[in-house]
Amino acid sequence: MLRAATVQFEPRPGAKEYNLARIEHFARAAADDGVQLVAFPEMCLLGYWHLTKRDAGYLHDVAEPDDGPSIARISALAAELHLGIGFGLLTERDGWLFNAYAVCLPDGTVHIHRKLHAFEHEAISCGGRYTVFDTPWDVRVGVLICYDNNLIENVRATALLGAQILLAPHQTGGTNSVSPHGMKPIPLSIWERRHADPAAVEDAFRGPNGREWLLRWLPSRAHDNGLFLIFSNGVGRDDDEVRTGNAMIIDPYGRIIAESWATADAMAIADLDLDLVPASTGRRWLRARRPELYRPLTAKYGDEVDARTARFS
């Protein structure tokens, strides 16, 4: 059994100290409740969507190396609280920028995933490897950031590498999908009037541009691969878009076992029965695979595009 938590919060653009304080606040609350692993959203150290409108110089200024001060600070907090903490940030390595997610374990180990399908800015590069690792709780954890989870092959590969828990940090909901029946923006006015008209923002967050969109595909990632999925997300204003929260934990059968209905910063907690993983439908399907048939999965068909093109056209 592993006690896990997922957090949704509204980061302030570029305000590292404020955002770090929110991370620490929820990490301490999680530790007080016996949580062993807590997940925060994608790029929550800096805020997200405003970065798409900044120049490359600004991004290099706010990025940190893998051994930078923010990771060091959260790593020290993880050791103090005996808690695993995952959070999103912008990193720089050998001059290359990455949308990254650091998981700081209580034994001092840090694992960093670099988003495989980055589309936010031409200066942000895509990572080139999966991130799956052992933990002090005798469970293997994987990380996929936002769009990474949309491609079913990524979750399958992560499961095949032994992940029993997938951390899936996002900044989603209320964004403008080019698909005719995909999610669409939520008017900023709905968020700004949330105190005067809470029902309107609740309906928007739970409707087709928020929770309903997530439920079209997110539980299937957990079910089809037989793993727990911990979905964390931003909530509220993200530059000129609105994130819909809906932080949730899904079990290996695709069942939501904890979620937040809040339209504000919040945390959801669940006890993960790891014995569900080996007996799950998804794990049975993994064992029934016939890899010799899957050559088409690795063939190029000539219409492949990078994530920027796939996302915006």
What the chain holds in terms of domains, given with CATH numbers, is 2-312 (3.60.110.10)
Q: In a 3-state reduction of DSSP, which class is residue 161?
A: coil
pLDDT at 312: 52
CA dihedral 80, 81, 83, 89 (to 10 degrees): -70
| Backbone phi, psi, residue 116, to 5° | -75, -25
**What's the token pair of residue 292?**
């010799």
d(CA 265, CA 53): 25
Q: In a 3-state reduction of DSSP, which class is residue 234?
A: strand
Helix pair 218-225, 152-160: axis angle to 10 deg:
30
pLDDT at 306: 81
Q: In a 3-state reduction of DSSP, which class is residue 250?
A: strand
The string over 252-276, giving b where at least 16 C-beta atoms fall within 10 Å of a residue's C-beta and e elsewhere, is bebebbbbbebbebbbbbbebebeb
pLDDT at 176: 82
- Do residues 59 and 106 touch, judged by C-beta distance below 8 A? no
pLDDT at 148: 98
**What's the token pair of residue 288?**
């029934």
∠ CA 27-33-36, rounded to 5° = 60
pLDDT at 220: 98
Q: How many CB atoms lie within 10 A of CB 125?
A: 16
Q: Of 82, 87, 107, which is closest to residue 99 (Cα–Cα)?
A: 87
| Backbone phi, psi, residue 99, to 5° | -75, 110
d(CA 231, CA 214): 10
Q: What is the DSSP letter of 294?
A: -
pLDDT at 183: 86
Question: Strand 228-238 relative to strand 248-250: parallel, antiparallel, unpaired?
Answer: antiparallel
pLDDT at 27: 98
d(CA 250, CA 149): 14
Its pTM surpasses 0.85: yes
Reported residue count of the chain is 313
d(CA 16, CA 37): 22
CA dihedral 272, 129, 66, 247 (to 10 degrees): -30
pLDDT at 181: 81
What are the residue ranges in the chain where pLDDT is below 70? 309-313
pLDDT at 174: 86
